[in-house]
Structure 1
Amino acid sequence: MPTARAAALPHDLLARICSFLPPGDAALTVPRLSKAWAAAAAPRVADVRAEVAAALPHDLLARICSFLPPGDAALTLTEEQRWRAAARAAFHGDLAVLGWALPQLDAADALYCDAAAAGGQLEALQYARALGCAWCNRACSAAAEGGHLAVLQWGRAQDPPCPWDAGTCSAAAGGGHLAVLQWARTQDPPCPWSIGTCAAAAGGGHLAVLQWLRAQQPPCPWHEWTCVLAARKGHLAVLQWARAQDPPCPWNPTDCLEWASDDATAEWIRAQAALEGVEL
């Protein structure tokens, strides 16, 4: 299995590599650097292990690596540790760590482009593609969900473009990113949408997005899950608007009541069902 020696890497880069490891992996890997590193790390690693379940991974990893002195032993990472480090580096836009990790990994895995797109890291995405990393429709969806329009535009401008599907529009709608959604729909051909797009907007509580979707010609399709997700997430105004349209959004009052997240929403569903002659 490939190894990277500490002496061949700047200490700050080595520390950053450690910081991208999950807490459990870091606790297992750091003591293997050398006896000196293991001795220095032991008290702090013990403390960190006790707090892993309650603390943020990045904070824990930074604490693990903050007290490590430089060493000259081999830093041996498993393949799983390397791809996790690469994915986290891509998400955070750390090109130095990404450049260290990617050449040792399977470029056919689209995970690294997905992570860069999700983090809005255009330079990291470009770097991953330059190194031959694959991508798929998840990259467009990840960029759309995060509202990273520049990343999405760059991906679609490539030859061939990064693939997309209805999940891209649904991700933008779910994230409330109307500008991203509008851009995607004005492309030639437009990015597909589906009944899941309205449902995603409703579930996210994004009434303006849902209104825009339904105002298009033809309107974005919707179905019962638009109402169910609005009820489930407690977005009563969204549910009320959907049912007030002509024709109203389809719904199943029983399902909506079952999934209602709060008393106000449940009370409105009961009252509305009674007006419609539906027994619950």
Structure 2
Amino acid sequence: MPPTTRAAARARIAAAAGTPHDLLARICSFLPPGAAILTVPRLNKALAAAAAPRVADLEALQYALALGFPWDEETCNAAARRGHLDALQWLCAQYCPWGPRTCAAAAYGGHLAVLQWLRAQDPPCPWDEETCGGAARGGHLAVLQWARAQDPPCCWDKRTCRDAARGGHLTVLQWVRAQQPPCPWDEETCRAAAWGGHLAVLQWARAQEPPCPWDKWQCCHAAGAASSPATAKWIRAQVALEGAAL
């Protein structure tokens, strides 16, 4: 690796691993002067080792590997989440482990090309309900549609609706419920919408026939915790119409 490239990689890792100077000074204050001189570079190296997977670009990963830094499935997950296909391909060639959360990370980041590449491998990177949930949580309808169009389709469950509602992604929620059969939902969908202060999502869910089930008390509490007075006010109005009380 050229020195300039290596220096750039070191800089990216250092930025992700940066330790506040005041914290480093406090650590060294408890050590004898000689020990402090040895501790600082060791501490910086340990922090850089922890940060390299989070940086997840190719140059930084190659530099980290050359220094003997460890990696695991989260390294692939970080590359997928950031859409760094070149880094992911290189990690695959180095036999870095991956798993269902790698596909979920790509879906959450909205990186369709990365997800398609993962699934095109032999054997394909495994996926599960978290992939659809990740796409829904990130509001990436095209990714979700592609995953469901595969044969067999990527599986989903009630968490897909919950995650779409949590992110306030009404279009995604409407699409998953319009499928045949519709993606299942439960009380968590309404609670997630209330928790996020997404009144339009909550109103739409409750306006369906039959309406999305809800726990009105949990929803009102969630809306209050989210500092969404408009959502809390609407929930109380619905409860009043039902003749109940909070």
Same fold (TM over 0.5): yes
In structure 2, the residue matched to 1:266 is 232
Distance in 2 of aligned mates of 1:277 and 1:246: 20
CA distance in 1, matches of 2:239, 2:133: 29
Alpha-carbon contact 1:17-1:85 (below 8 Å) kept: no
Match among 43, 47, 53 for residue 87 of structure 1: 53
Task: Give 1 or 2: higher helix fraction.
Answer: 2
Q: Could you list the structure 1 runs, at least 4 aligned residues long, displaced by more than 3 angstroms after superposition.
A: 75-83
- What is the identity percentage for the equivalent residue pairs of Structure 1 and Structure 2? 57
Taking a change above 3 Å as real, the CA distance of residues 218 and 272 of structure 1, as seen in their structure-2 partners, is same
1:228 aligns with 2:191: yes
**Counterpart Cα distance in 1 of 2:206 and 2:78:** 38
Q: Which residue is 2:21 aligned to? A: 49
CA distance in 2, matches of 1:243, 1:251: 8
**Gaps in structure 1 of 5+ consecutive residues:** 1-7, 25-47, 53-74
Checking the alignment, whether the CA contact within 8 Å between 2:12 and 2:55 is kept in structure 1 is: no
Gap regions ≥5 residues in structure 2: 25-40
Task: State the Cα distance separating 1:112 from its structure 2 match.
Answer: 1.3
- Aligned equivalents of 1:256 and 1:185: distance in 2? 30
Give 2:18's aligned amino acid. P
Query: Does the 8 Å CA contact 1:135/1:162 hold for their aligned counterparts?
Result: yes
Cα 1:265–1:186 change in 2 (3 A) is same
> 2-side partners of 1:122 and 1:215: how far apart?
32
CA 1:166/1:249 → structure 2, altered by over 3 Å: closer, same or farther?
same
Q: After the TM superposition, which residues 186-225 of structure 1 pair with which residues of structure 2 at under 5 Å, given as runs?
A: 186-225=149-188
Shift in CA distance, 182/12, structure 1 to aligned 2, threshold 3 Å: closer
The residue matched to 2:6 in structure 1 has which SS?
A: helix
1:78 deviation in Å?
Answer: 7.4
What is the deviation of 1:277?
2.4
What displacement does 1:209 show? Answer: 0.4
2:114 equivalent in structure 1: 151
Question: Where does residue 45 of structure 1 map in the other structure?
Answer: none
- Are the counterparts in 2 of residues 79 and 105 from structure 1 also a CA contact under 8 Å? no
Cα pair 2:9 2:63 within 8 Å, conserved:
no
Q: Secondary structure at the match of 2:80?
A: helix
Task: Say which SS state the counterpart of residue 9 (structure 2) adopts.
Answer: helix
Report the CA distance shift for 1:106/1:23 in structure 2 as closer, same or farther (over 3 A).
Answer: closer
Deviation, 1:278, is 2.1
1:19 is the counterpart of 2:12? yes
Aligned residue pairs total: 224
Distance in structure 2 (CA, Å) of the matches to 1:110 and 1:201: 26
